[in-house]
Amino acid sequence: MCSSLSFAALRRLVHLALCPIRTHSKITNIYLLTDTRRPATIFLGVFQLDYRDYQKARDASWRILLDCKIDRLPVDLNAVCRKLKIRLFSYTAAADIIERAHMADATRRTDGLTFYMRGTPVILYNGAVLPQRVSFTVAHELGHIVLAHVKPGSVTIANREPHPGDSPEETAANQFAARLLAPACVLWAMNIHTPEEIMNLCQISRAAAEFRARRMADLYRRGQFLTSPLEQAVYQQFRPFIAEALNPPPGE
C-alpha cells in the first residue's frame, strides 16, 4: 500500500536529494516512490484481485525467475536484486536515510519500504524479524517495483503477511512474492502439499506458506500445471534441482 506524501515531507525529500547522505552502504541521494491504482473486480479465494492483475503478477514472477536464472530453492533474493539493479538494505544499514527522511515512524509500522536513489530502486527491510519473514518482505517489495505500482512522490506504507483486507495492489504484490519464492511447477514436481513442506523447502514464514498451500490445493484439484510456455520454461530451468532433491546422492 502506498500513501501520498505531505507537502512538508516532499520538501524535506527535495532537500535531501540535494544533499549527500552518508551511510554504511554509501547511499547518497533519495526520493520516494508512489503507485497507480487499479479496480479489483473478482475474488481469488478471500483475496480480491482483478484477474488481469493476477495474471500479470504470476507471469512477472516467472519472467524474473527466468531472467535472473534462478534454478533452485530457496530463491536467492540477493542475486535477484543484483540482476535487477535494485539496492537492498536493512533498516539498520540505512539508519541515516531513515532519520534524514523522517521515516522512523514508517519503519515501526511496516517491515519493508521502497524508494528511489538516483533513479535506482531501493528496498529497505526490517532485519530484526525471522529470515523467513524477511524473504517474503523483500519479495513483496520486489513485486511493487516489477508490477510498476510505484513512481516518484509517495512511500509504501504496508508490508505484512497476506491478509483478506489487503488492497488490490498489496494482494498483487503478495501473489508475485508467493509465486517467486514458491513456484507452483516446482512444488508440483516435488509433490509438495502442506504448509510445513513449503516452509522447509522455500524458507518462507508459516503465514506465507499457508497462503501458498491454499492456492496449491486448488491447482492440484484442477491439475493446472505447465499450461503456460513461461511456466514450462521455469520447470525446465529447475529440473536439475528437482532431480537432485528427489534423488539425493548416496549417503545424504
Q: pLDDT per residue over 158-168, tens digit each?
A: 545 555 556 78
- Residue 175: inside a domain: yes
- The number of distinct structural domains making up the chain is 1
Tally Cβ neighbours within 10 Å of residue 105: 10
Residue 115 lies in a domain: yes
Residue 150's pLDDT band, with cuts at 50, 70 and 90, is confident
From residue 177, alpha-carbon distances to 33, 35, 60, 183, 247 in Å are: 19, 17, 10, 10, 28
Full-model pTM: 0.79
The answer to whether residue 194 is domain-embedded is no
- Yes or no: say if 27 and 89 are a contact pair by the CB < 8 Å rule: yes
Residue 222 lies in a domain: no
pLDDT, tens digit (0-9, with 9 covering 90-100), for 39-91: 333 333 434 457 888 899 999 999 999 999 999 999 999 999 999 999 999 99
d(CA 89, CA 125): 7
In a domain, 236, yes or no: no
Residue 99 domain flag: yes
Q: Which residues contact 227 (CB under 8 A, 6 or more apart)?
A: none
Closest to 78 (Cα-Cα) out of 131, 29, 32: 131
Q: Is residue 185 part of a domain?
A: no
Residue 228 lies in a domain: no
**Residue range of the domain that includes 127:** 2-180
Alpha carbon distance 116, 183 (integer Å) = 28
